[in-house]
Structure 1
Amino acid sequence: MKPTPTARGILLALILGGMAVANLPAQVSFERLREAAGESRNWLTYSGSYFSQRHSALDQITPANVGDLELQWMYQAPVFGPWQATPIVVDGVMYVSQRPNDIVALDARTGRVFWVYSYPTPSDHRACCGANNRGVAVLDGRVFMATLDAHVVAIDASSGALLWDVEVADRHLAYSFTLSPLAVKDKVIVGTTGGDRGIRGFISAFDAETGEEAWRFYTIPGPGEPGHETWEPCPPNPETYCDPEAWKHGGGAAWLTGSY
């Protein structure tokens, strides 16, 4: 798949309190992601670490003092309806997705907004069961988001500028993304939703720098792929409906962010 022109994004950049956005800490290497469990002050990937245990080793909050906690700041998101995103925290900067497909960078200490990126989500997407986005991934100065109309975008983590935008699948065929991408080495990995609407599920990896697709694995095997031979052929005169190409719309969605 080829990246589409970068003009598809709408960028709202806000520089508040005299802080230069270009100085935001944004460099998260693969080595940091691999050792993310040891950075308890941060939350560098969707599940906290590649182990996907969602455990934090922080110990400041205890059963003895939890009742004394007080509100420090509040960010009013323009979100109506379900919101399932997990924030990413990198050295004091919080990156969180807002439905349908916005990303906001916040000061994790004060709640002030550094920048907002708004993706132009088309109204005719066919995402099932709520227009949700579960979060973003970070790697080497970029923030990655998968969209409801089956695109993947890369955003400059310091400024909020769009770097690339790739159309992964046809939204008119009910392909969509609701998961948080997984960044591994120099790749960004996503899996499609749409099993409820008869898509052929897949997981794809993209070059983090260019957006070029590196590989694609279909969860429903096609002709010549391991497992396709398990599909029984239709009988000559079936008593009930039999689709010889059911593998083309067999479901198999992969909308959960993986481990590594």
Structure 2
Amino acid sequence: MPGERGRARLGSTVALAAGLVVGLALPAAARDTTQARLVNAEVEPENWLLHHQNYEGHRFGNLTQINASNVRGLKLTMMVLLAGQTRAEGGRQGTTRLEGTPIAEDGFLYVTDGWGAVYKIDVRSGKRADFVWKMDPRIDKVWAGDVACCGVNNRGVALWSDQVISIALDGRMFAINKESGQVTWERRVADPSIAETLTAAPLVIGDLAIIGPAGAEYGIRGWLEAINLVSGGTAWRTYTVPARGEPGNETWTDGYNAWETGGGSIWVTGTYDAATNVMYWGTGNPAPQIDAEYRPGDNLFTDSLLAMNPVTGAIQWYFQYTPNDPFDYDEVSEHLLIDIDVGGRMRKLVTHVGRNGFFYGFDRTSGAFLYGKGYPNIISWTNGLDPKTGKPLSYNPSAAVQVYNPGTVPRRGLVGVYCPALAGGKNWEPASYSRTLQLVYTPSTEGCSAYVAEYDGHFEGKLDGTFRKRAMWDGRGAAPADTPLPIAQTAFSVNALDPRTGDVKVKVMRDTKTFGVLSTAGGLVFGGNQLGDVFALDGRTLQTLWTFNVGTPIQGPPMTFSTGGKQYVAIMAGGTAGPAQRAVRTSTRWFTPSNYLFVFGL
């Protein structure tokens, strides 16, 4: 795929889209992104070199120029329209969502739009965002609209050496030269003919790029694969659902090989402990999504934390959050690695804000469960977690199909009402750990769901590659419209959690859902929402200090960087506002789908 080389000023996006970009002065040569730089990302606070800022997943900006005393003076300094939203005729998802995190290196941003196009943008001037190049994988937009279960997404890129590593929804991975935007190599990693898609930013460790597929709603069998970035070949592949004869397969107790289509997809970037050479990944829901009767047993290793060797792909230890999950509580979101003093003892923790409503802490040296505390206002599916094992108190280890708390599990012909809702708790939207205030910040949805399980038949095998003739294979049916819910109106919050104990220290209700947060050494927490608000909160009280409306929905997390001695906060925006947002602010019904990058500074 060609890279379109040159620099277009803000306002030149028509020329860019047409591939007719006027070449101006070339930027300074980019530095190689080495493993040493990635391991020590914190010593380059001006840059944002990894998807989660550092390998530990903190999403913390160690910059103080923007702080609680001056954030009210924050203003929009740069903005740029990426490729326009093109409604895909015939596709279920007509427009994309921008859920990506920009990568920043030496005054350049690397971003993606929902269709997977990669842009290099020069922001060194602090006055305008100049395009340097664009690489468009040219995916089939009609096909993409049909195969993406929950929105056409691309969550970003990774840096390695002099290359940008990107993925496309149709299963391809690309190595792109940082300077020219030309594709060095591309290869097919996932198989779109069986509904495997790629949406997560790759995790680069050494010369390996590690990635997994989305697609559990179509009955894929999840995996992680390491690609050798020198050769483009496969170093290893580890399936998240074990085959017959492999440890864990005994937890699939049906008689028709449900494990073959068992889900466990991976669509959020993992974290990595460089000191011990262990990486941590969360896995998705079992398939079908709601009909747990189809797949009796605990269904390992779905809904799990996997501690893995990045060189071999071997699973060193695991923890399963919701066995035989009938709620769609996949736990793909980030696992934050935190070193902190707990009662006079330095602990090496791996923590996780679970979609099932609990904030978990483990000793990452041993895998021992330390705590699990609820963070939404209502959790109904279990009455808590076993303090020794971390398993739900309502879990029955001898049951083939879990009942959990009576009335909460959807069954065939029987409504299940449960809290938190199908979307969590917290879904994929990233949390953040402030190393200065030693708090974990997370958005939360305070709501409940009601569904009936449906038998969708057996998975039919390989498809024709278009997916236009097949509905999602989720085993989920609608409950009667008059089904009462414990929370009649879904609410939303931002929470500050104590990683020492798991306790909620502060909870502040918000008008609508926050799509990920950023904490900074300036004592601030930034976020954005589908009403189009970018906001800054006080890190101690979570009170709003500043807000700015960009006029289009925000469905991705913010990040921060500096260039020319000045700190900035950047966020992607685009997509459409849903019914919940229109109910809060009626003007959002006029929001036009778009693809924007917004940059704020003092």
Which entry has the higher C-alpha Rg, 1 or 2? 2
* Alpha-carbon distance in structure 2 between the residues aligned to 1:224 and 1:12: 50
The structure whose residues are more often strand, as a share, is 2
Deviates more, 1:225-234 or 1:87-96: 225-234
Residue aligning to 1:46:
51
Q: How does 1:139-218 map to 2 (within 5 A)?
A: 139-218=160-239
Asked if residue 116 in structure 1 is aligned to residue 134 in structure 2, the reply is yes
Question: Which secondary structure state, in structure 2, belongs to the residue aligned with residue 75 of structure 1?
Answer: strand
Deviates more, 1:76-85 or 1:176-185: 76-85
* Alpha-carbon distance in structure 1 between the residues aligned to 2:230 and 2:155: 22
Residue aligning to 1:238:
none
The amino acid across from 1:111 in the alignment is: A
Q: Deviations over 1:183-239 (max 9, x none)?
A: 1011001011001110000111101122111001100001232212333252xxxxx
Residue aligning to 1:99:
114
* Alpha-carbon distance in structure 2 between the residues aligned to 1:120 and 1:224: 41
Percent identity, aligned pairs only? 35
* Alpha-carbon distance in structure 1 between the residues aligned to 2:271 and 2:84: 29
* Alpha-carbon distance in structure 2 between the residues aligned to 1:224 and 1:20: 57
Residue aligning to 2:5:
13
The amino acid across from 1:226 in the alignment is: P
Asked if residue 59 in structure 1 is aligned to residue 51 in structure 2, the reply is no
* Residue ranges of structure 1 left out of the alignment (5+ in a row): 1-8, 235-243
* Alpha-carbon distance in structure 1 between the residues aligned to 2:35 and 2:247: 31
The amino acid across from 1:11 in the alignment is: G
Structure 1 residues 167 and 173: alpha-carbon distance in aligned structure 2, compared to 1, 3 A threshold: same
Equivalent pairs counted in the alignment come to 242
Q: How does 1:229-244 map to 2 (within 5 A)?
A: 229-232=250-253, 234=255, 244=256
* Alpha-carbon distance in structure 1 between the residues aligned to 2:246 and 2:2: 40
Question: Which secondary structure state, in structure 2, belongs to the residue aligned with residue 247 of structure 1?
Answer: helix
Q: Deviations over 1:137-187 (max 9, x none)?
A: 001011111210111111111110001111112202110011111110110
Residue aligning to 2:244:
223
Residue aligning to 2:81:
76
* Alpha-carbon distance in structure 2 between the residues aligned to 1:79 and 1:136: 20
Q: CA RMSD in A?
A: 1.6
CA apart distance, 1:15 = 4.2
* Alpha-carbon distance in structure 1 between the residues aligned to 2:254 and 2:198: 32
Q: Deviations over 1:235-256 (max 9, x none)?
A: xxxxxxxxx2211100001111
* Alpha-carbon distance in structure 1 between the residues aligned to 2:84 and 2:53: 24
Question: Which secondary structure state, in structure 2, belongs to the residue aligned with residue 203 of structure 1?
Answer: strand
CA apart distance, 1:74 = 1.3
State whether residues 103 and 116 of structure 1, in contact with CA within 8 Å, keep that contact through their aligned partners in structure 2.
yes
* Alpha-carbon distance in structure 2 between the residues aligned to 1:26 and 1:210: 21
Asked if residue 253 in structure 1 is aligned to residue 265 in structure 2, the reply is yes
* Alpha-carbon distance in structure 2 between the residues aligned to 1:197 and 1:217: 20
State whether residues 6 and 24 of structure 2, in contact with CA within 8 Å, keep that contact through their aligned partners in structure 1.
no
* Residue ranges of structure 2 left out of the alignment (5+ in a row): 9-22, 86-95, 273-602
Runs of 4+ in structure 1 deviating by more than 4 angstroms, as ranges, are: none
* Alpha-carbon distance in structure 2 between the residues aligned to 1:211 and 1:218: 20
The amino acid across from 1:173 in the alignment is: I
Q: Deviations over 1:56-108 (max 9, x none)?
A: 11000011111222322211122434211100001111100112010000112
The amino acid across from 2:51 in the alignment is: Y
Question: Which secondary structure state, in structure 2, belongs to the residue aligned with residue 74 of structure 1?
Answer: strand
Deviates more, 1:106-115 or 1:32-41: 106-115
* TM-score normalised according to structure 1 size: 0.88
* Alpha-carbon distance in structure 2 between the residues aligned to 1:217 and 1:29: 26
The amino acid across from 1:230 in the alignment is: T
